Amino acid sequence: MKKNIAIIRGDGIGPEIMAQAVAVLDTVAEKYGHTFTYMDAPMGGEAIDRFGDPLPKSSLETCLASDSVLLSAVGGPKWDNMPKDLRPERGLLRLRAGLGLYANLRPARLFDELRDASPLKSSIIDKGVDFVVVRELIGGAYFGEHSTEKLDGEYYAKDIMGYSEHEIERIARVAFETARKRRKKVCSVDKANVLDSSKLWRKIVTKVAENYPDVILSHMYVDNCAMQIVRDPSQFDVIVTENLFGDILSDEASMITGSIGMIPSSSLGDGTRGLYEPIHGSAPDIAGTDSANPIGMILSAAMMLRYSFDMPEEADAVESAVNSILQEGFRTGDTMSEGKMRLGCIDTGMAICEKIK
């Protein structure tokens, strides 16, 4: 197969980990007889520096013309004091909206080899951690009306959190479909005891559930969910929630796995084109030191192979290569522990490529 992949090299450690993901994709292409063509689509800090815009029109067009988009991570202290529209995050939000990517899937899975890295007690993680947060990505407070005005002699700022039925319906469907391929449980998370948008959320999710009698639906308030994730994460299979709640809960979920550098994510809309990225940030403090963990980025590429390109065998090959090097005791700095062998970013990528061959 021939595939065009838009590449956002990103900021900080972004270009380093992306280079390893591309090396892995090239290895896959060679072994399985595919042709992958890469097209650069500058976004974030790099794009601000070069074009004065965190998402230049040409970059969005490149992504729209691609079969899928691979992103490392954007941002850094250099751009922290820029006005809102000129911040790297703006580029990411505009890209998500521009590509219509309303469903963000963030798996939280504990790697057996990295159990010691979890901050939770073994009595809790012994029951297993394997769930996925399905986060609505282009609605809610992120995309509602924002304003700051002077009112009665002081500033007043607001961000409207709103959801329409169709926005809730389509993300609910993604959650139920995802659950069907897993343990068939959906927990819908809201704040329906306080918020109107959550009341509508609960009503629509319940309605969509009628089409999925084989999936068990439960509801939970977001504050309780934050607690349950650390109290007993084994109770969750698929969590579906609105944008801002999902932003917060997915960080919490990744933390309990103890290996934020290893977790990939996918953002999808109605077609097969997706945006795949590791969930960690651009770690500017270690940029250029060859010590970043490229595994989250590489597993994001594997997710792209599986979900956008329908290449399950190729995705399996990448994922088992990652498992093999972990089993053999290789670690990057972030997951290093006694008795293990430490590898840099480049050597980790090379070790994974060797396994795939």
Contacts of 55 (CB under 8 A, 6+ apart): 43, 47, 90, 91, 92, 94, 95, 98
List Cα–Cα distances, 258 to 1, 21, 112, 199, 249, in angstroms.
36, 22, 11, 34, 15
Among 11, 16, 190, 247, interactor with ligand IPM by CB under 6 A: 247
* Nearer residue to ligand IPM within complex by CB, 44 or 349: 44
Applying CB under 6 A, among 26, 30, 89, 290 the residue interacting with ligand IPM is: 89
Q: Which is nearer to Mg ion, 67 or 277 (CB)?
A: 277
Told to judge if 130 belongs to the known catalytic residues of this protein, a careful annotator would answer no
> Would you call 191 a catalytic residue per the annotation?
yes
Catalytic residue among 3, 102, 142, 307: 142
Q: Please tell me whether residue 11 binds ligand IPM under the rule CB under 6 A.
A: no
* Contact window for ligand IPM (CB under 6 A) among 56-64, 85-93, 164-172, 212-220: 85-93
Of the listed pieces 16-24, 87-95, 125-133, 301-309, which binds ligand IPM according to CB under 6 A? 87-95
Q: Is residue 196 annotated as a catalytic residue, yes or no?
A: no
Near Mg ion in 227-256, by CB under 5 A: 247
CB of 93 to ligand IPM, least distance (A): 6
As measured in angstroms, the least distance from the Cβ of 89 to ligand IPM is 4
| Beta carbon of residue 135, minimum distance to Mg ion (angstroms, whole number) | 9
* Closest by CA position to 266, among listed 256, 258, 257, 277: 277
223 is catalytic: yes
- Binder of ligand IPM out of 7, 17, 47, 92 (CB under 6 A): 92
Q: Which is nearer to Mg ion, 215 or 240 (CB)?
A: 240
With CB atoms as reference, the residue minimizing the distance to Mg ion is 247
In the complex, the residues that contact Mg ion under the rule CB under 5 A are 247
Q: Mind telling me the catalytic residues? A: 142, 191, 223, 247, 251
In the complex, the residues that contact ligand IPM under the rule CB under 6 A are 89, 92-93, 247
